[in-house]
Amino acid sequence: MLKKILAALAISTSLQAHADIQTVIFPFNTPGIGDGIVDTLEELDSWLQKPENYLGGDVTIKIKPGIYSDSVSWNFSAGENKLLITAQDTKDIPTFDACVTTPCNAGQLNGYFFRLEPRAGRLKNVTIQYLKIKNYVNGIYLNKVDNVSVFKSTFERIGSAFNKNIPSVLIEGKPERRHNGYAAIASNNATNLRIEYNTIQNAYNDDRPLLMHGVYLKGTIDTTIKSNTMNMISSDPIRIRNSSERVLVTANKISNSGMVAVSTFEDDGVECPSFAIASTANSFGMMFPFIEIYSQPGFDNAWAKKAYLNEGLVQGQGYKVTVDPQQSPTTCVHRNVLNKWAVFDSQSNTFILPATDARVIQSSSGVQLSDSAEDPYVRMAPGSALAFDTNMFFVGCNSSIVDTCADQNTPSIADDQDLFNADDSNKAYYLKLEVKSGNTPKRIRFSGGGYLEEPIEIPTSATTEWVSLSLQLHPKVTNRAEGIFTVTTESNELLVRSLKITEIDN
């Protein structure tokens, strides 16, 4: 006990204990270590594991504002007590940047910034929040943990593309990076995770882009993924694997990323299927098969020159069971699921297609793209028209460009699947056109795509604002050609911002 008291007094300016909560302000000076300064997370982890330094009870680590560049395999545990790692000042959060030094140090710990994993047993009751992590190959890894939360943190420039100094090795005779990115936040053998209010931006591998995800769960039970923003991720933003169950994906904003928003994956014949994945109130933007789109090397250049393909554009579905569950071992509980809706429960989600993207396949005179980078929209003069290609709703062996079916016969839906209507007879989807209202009457007309050629009045408003017009999706489509529909303005100028597919009829 005397040792603990003396240790606490020696670092009184950086450690405070109040009501069973031990607070450590990091970094700090302390006697008894090499340079007298605890200024890396690895040193902090080792320091806390010494019995004279951990005073018992809950621990709060407050990281001072600044730029840091270290990586850590964190083993310290407060037992049944709570460990909080947070910013000292939430308005000036610390940045961990692997490329502060030259060359970048992101090859440490297989490219991970923070590996939370016990040396034995399990680690529990940990919260990591208010951090900014950039230029690492991987972000936070949670292994053999229970009751862990990652809150209000920012992950940007994650993946091998941002770390050119990672050495290459020969794999099957081809050079490949020694470390690949897998996720901004990954877990394995974990329970009760909360991943909420984070931003994940620009996560990309240059060698193997389909390996990179925003959140990657493996063997993880009871997880909430809530109110996160994920943008520009080279593969599916949320990947769920190997017997992960009871996952709630809710209120997230996901766009400009891999083929679908949420997917499952299992190693054939080895791992068991994941199950009970609920998706509610999310906003899914453009999803696309990243690897098939870009021909120019370099992440930034490729993204700036994106050209969406119709093939594979099934972002409206949002979900995919990547591996047939029946290929899993016979001992797996959920190997006999009938279709993906036995794995995913999708309710009240919205799928957004910007009116300025390449799905606008034809336009008449009088249609102009706005110059606003932050809020792009299309300006339509009276009498002008836009044609939208909705053939991406049909998936299977056909695309709206090439017929790859064995019978080389494209007209019939029977060749494919209209998943918005046929995959689940109990579900209904609605198409919404987001337009600008005003104090003058406006009217538009839908034609093609199974829609009746009826004019629709746009509600007037004393204040100019965006409003949504809703129609049931594909009410009378009988063949692929009807997947193209046209919007025509009949009176007064109209601004169109986006086209949405939604599970909400309002």
SS3 of 324-381: CHHHCCCCCCCCCCCCHHHCEEEECCEEEEECCCCCEEEECCCEEECCCCCCCCEEEC
Quote the mean pLDDT of the chain.
Answer: 76
pLDDT tens, residue by residue, 206-238: 777 778 999 999 999 999 999 999 988 888 899
Please state, in angstroms and rounded to a whole number, the distance separating the CA atoms of residues 494 and 500. Answer: 17
* Residue 504 pLDDT greater than 70, yes or no: no
> How many CA within 13 A on the CB side of residue 194?
14
Structure tokens at 203: 């996560």
What's the pLDDT tens digit per position in 55-112? 899 999 999 999 999 899 999 999 999 999 999 999 999 999 988 876 676 667 778 9
Q: Which residue has better confidence, 432 or 12? A: 432
Superfamily of domain 354-502: Galactose-binding domain-like (2.60.120.260)
Long-range contacts at 404-411 (CB < 8 A, ≥ 24 apart): 410/480, 411/479, 411/480, 411/481
Q: Which residue has the tokens 């009176």?
A: 491
Q: Give the tens place of pLDDT for each residue, 100-150.
A: 876 676 667 778 999 999 999 999 999 999 999 999 999 999 999 999 999
- Encode pLDDT of 229-280 as tens digits: 998 888 889 999 999 999 999 999 988 777 678 999 998 789 999 999 999 9
| pLDDT 10s digits, 397-422 | 444 344 444 444 444 333 344 444 44
* Sign for the pseudo-dihedral over CA of 173, 176, 182, 187: positive
Looking at residue 77, what is its pLDDT? 95
pLDDT at 375: 65
Residue 289 is predicted with a pLDDT of: 41
Phi, psi values for residue 168, rounded to 5°: -100, 155
pTM over 0.85: no
Residue type, 402: V
* pLDDT confidence of residue 180: 84
DSSP 280-300: ES-EE--B--GGGT--SSSHH
Percentage with pLDDT > 70 across the chain:
67
Rounded alpha-carbon distances, angstroms, from residue 21 to 8, 40, 49, 83, 241 = 13, 22, 16, 10, 37
What was the pLDDT predicted at 223?
Answer: 98
**What is the enclosing helix (H) or strand (E) of 8?**
helix 2-10
Sheet of 455-458: strand order equals 360-363, 385-389, 484-491, 442-448, 455-458
Comparing CA positions, the residue from 279, 321, 313 lying closest to residue 427 is 279
For the chain, the domains span 1-91, 98-112+132-348, 354-502
- Could you say which DSSP state residue 167 is in? P
